[in-house]
Amino acid sequence: MSAKEFKKNDFSLRDCGTMAYFQTLNMQLELVGQRQQGRICNTVLLVEHPPVITLGARKTENVVLASSETLKKKQIDMVAVRRGGGTTAHNPGQIVVYPIIDLRSLALGVNEYIRELEAVGIELLAEFGITAQRRKALPGLWVEEKKIGSIGVKIKRHVSYHGMAINISNDLSIFDLIVPCGLKGVQITNVAEKTGREVAMSEVKELLGGILRKHFAKEVQP
């Protein structure tokens, strides 16, 4: 697998750099099988994707405003996946977090796991002076009335995959081509817009690594 791996105790963090969406999905599926078999520890992938629009499992929340010809012209792929949530978009400058975690090892239910993901994002954004909030029944991260992070997960035999995307310095115009998560009228923001400065992805990954370890590296014994 093409990824830098930083392993500590029973937790592994892999920096995948920039990787195509399908390639990362295949990696996740392979790791899910290995985690289910107990061949690997809880693992989190950090990645940036080339421009891609993904459709979630909730068909009513999948709304793409651009034609296939427009997407092709803009060199934006479109992929249907079986995670929770609706349409979202990924592009360079957005950090995507894919935890491959056996929820039983952390004594987490699905809803508790989603709250943990949100907590990770809230703590990361706080490092840049941004106060992000949760919204009831709307998994993700919000800064006032704008959305800055999306969450869509899938659990297979107790093991999670897919995950969370947080906008750092990405081109936000890609979100004009969709109705994000099926929420009409929602506006999207990123760290660069809220702080007025560019943030290096290396800094984001370093901060995020520490936060992820705090939330997911300590296993709970049954």
CB contact set of 129 (below 8 Å; sequence gap of 6+)? 195
Sign of CA dihedral 112, 114, 120, 121: negative
C-alpha distance from residue 200 to each of 78, 98, 131 (Å): 27, 20, 19
List, in order, residues 6 or more apart from 100 with CB less than 8 Å away: 28, 31, 32, 35, 40, 42, 43, 44, 45, 159, 160, 161
Q: Which residue has the tokens 């937790």?
A: 11
Query: Which residue of the set 97, 120, 148, 181 is catalytic?
Result: 181
181 is catalytic: yes
**Collapsed DSSP state (helix, strand, coil) of residue 144:** coil
Q: Which residues contact 116 (CB under 8 A, 6 or more apart)?
A: 108, 215, 216
Active site residues: 181
